[in-house]
Amino acid sequence: MNFSDIFKETYISLAANKVRSGLTVLGIVIGIGSVIAMISIGEGAKTQIQTSIEDLGSNLLTIFPGVVQPGRGIVSSGRGSAQTLKNEDIETITEIEGVAAIAPEISRRFQITAATGNNTNTTVTGVETNYLFVRNLKLADGFFITDSAARGLGREAVLGSTVAKDLFGENDPIGQSIRINRVNFKVTGLLAAKGGFGFSGPDDMVLVPLSTMQKILAGADYLSTISVSVADKDRMNEVRDNINYELAKKHRVDEPDFSIISQEDILGTLSQVINTFTIFLASIAGISLLVGGIGIMNMMLTTVTERTREIGLRKAIGATKSDINRQFLAEAVALTFVGGFLGVAMGWVIAFTVTSLEIIQTSVSLYSVFLAFGVSAAIGIIFGYYPARRAASLNPIEALRYE
């Protein structure tokens, strides 16, 4: 029996019972479809987080006060909890070789009111001129906080796009004045929208001069973060070690009372979390695939019993064991293959829907499609094997006598 004949027989028998074949295929469609969708959502989330972290700035090292322990977040270092970074540290770090630029900052949440009467509660960050470059941000309009303003208690503010919309709607915010914690500021610049879900949220932020923030708004002389841009990507570790050493020496402590985190650290941790999550989702989807496979086996076993007389007849007119075996195996594989094909389509549609609803930018990778086809063919063979063998080993006389 050649391939096209097997194909024809398979088609005839599956078409003879369309509803049942369809329902069985549905099990595989749902299984494969959800595996593809889950993997694509996971992959999408990973890519998205990757880009948003890379967007934070190139070759970025971030220094936090306090000690960060892996898996435990920021842990305060005993005395003077997390206020260990001071303005004097700026100079120390600037002098370290390989540091291209440095952006110290301090943030707090404040209530902000516009002359229009609109108000919002958001993070206000005191920064210096370098902030824009180090954090890889762009101005949409106006100009950024100048050196003199940063040092000389200037009352200028740069708005993130979300804040600008909250306060001024569609109107141009440049030149308008706002009140932060009852202090008047003049809006001089507007940040370009970054979109996405970057966790530092540059869209929902107001930037003011560092000195103004420390002395007038917060009344504190410490820094909440120092961002360091390293000149050469290959020297990240070296620069990091130097900062660690110099800063600890300056603070006169044996163990650093601050933490340095690189993009890679964040990326690594987050990727790991997302991988775990993807595997978790995919295995739940995998279970439904398994159930689909059992559905195939169930249907094939029913079919073999129902078609006992047909099998007897086929054997009487010369079908060998392997002819029968191949025919039933082909039916199972055809079911899973159709299921696999539709499943990939369904996964694609789900992924596309998730993307177009702007939940997560998904990406259906070629490998997951191949995987799905491989898995569905394998399921057909595995779950079709036993029913096919049972059909093939039927004794033709008993099969013919079967009522």
Partner 1 sequence: MIECQNITKTYKTGEVEFNALEGVSFKIERGEFVAIMGPSGSGKSTLMHILGALDTPTTGQYFLDGQNISLLSDDELAEIRKNKIGFVFQAFNLLARTSVLRNTVLPLVYAGINKNERALRAEIALKAAGLDEVHFNHLSNQLSGGQIQRVAIARALVNNPSLILADEPTGNLDSKTGEIVLKTFEKLNREEGRTIILITHEHDVARHTRRIIHIKDGKIEDDSNNQ
List interacting residues with partner 1 (CB under 8 A): 1-2, 5, 12, 16, 309-310, 313-323, 396-397, 400
Please, which residue, 265 or 310, has the CB nearer to partner 1? 310
CB 365 within 8 Å of CB 359: no
How many CA atoms are closer than 13 Å to the CA of 104, on its beta-carbon side? Answer: 21
Is 119 exposed, middle or buried, given 0-12, 13-18 or 19+ CB atoms closer than 10 A?
middle
What is the spatial distance between Cα 259 and Cα 74, in angstroms, rounded to a whole number?
Answer: 9
Please, which residue, 88 or 398, has the CB nearer to partner 1? 398
Is 187 exposed, middle or buried, given 0-12, 13-18 or 19+ CB atoms closer than 10 A?
buried
CB of 349 to partner 1, least distance (A): 33
CB of 302 to partner 1, least distance (A): 16
CB of 321 to partner 1, least distance (A): 6
Tokens of 224: 């909440």
Please, which residue, 48 or 308, has the CB nearer to partner 1? 308
CB 64 within 8 Å of CB 74: yes
CB of 326 to partner 1, least distance (A): 11
What is the spatial distance between Cα 331 and Cα 16, in angstroms, rounded to a whole number?
Answer: 12
CB 159 within 8 Å of CB 189: yes
Please, which residue, 38 or 334, has the CB nearer to partner 1? 334
Please, which residue, 13 or 225, has the CB nearer to partner 1? 13
CB of 390 to partner 1, least distance (A): 15
How many CA atoms are closer than 13 Å to the CA of 246, on its beta-carbon side? Answer: 18
How many CA atoms are closer than 13 Å to the CA of 282, on its beta-carbon side? Answer: 15
CB of 315 to partner 1, least distance (A): 7
Please, which residue, 259 or 325, has the CB nearer to partner 1? 325
CB of 4 to partner 1, least distance (A): 8
How far is residue 231 CA from its own chain's centroid? 29
Burial track 17-29 (b if 16+ CB lie within 10 A, e otherwise) = eeeebeebbbbbb
Please, which residue, 45 or 319, has the CB nearer to partner 1? 319
For residue 356, the tally of other CB atoms under 10 A from its CB is 9
Helical (H) or strand (E) element with 207: strand 205-209
Contacts of 378 (CB under 8 A, 6+ apart): none
Comparing C-alpha atoms, which of 304, 288, 276, 335 is closest to residue 20?
335
Please, which residue, 246 or 310, has the CB nearer to partner 1? 310
Please, which residue, 8 or 138, has the CB nearer to partner 1? 8
CB of 40 to partner 1, least distance (A): 40
CB of 331 to partner 1, least distance (A): 14
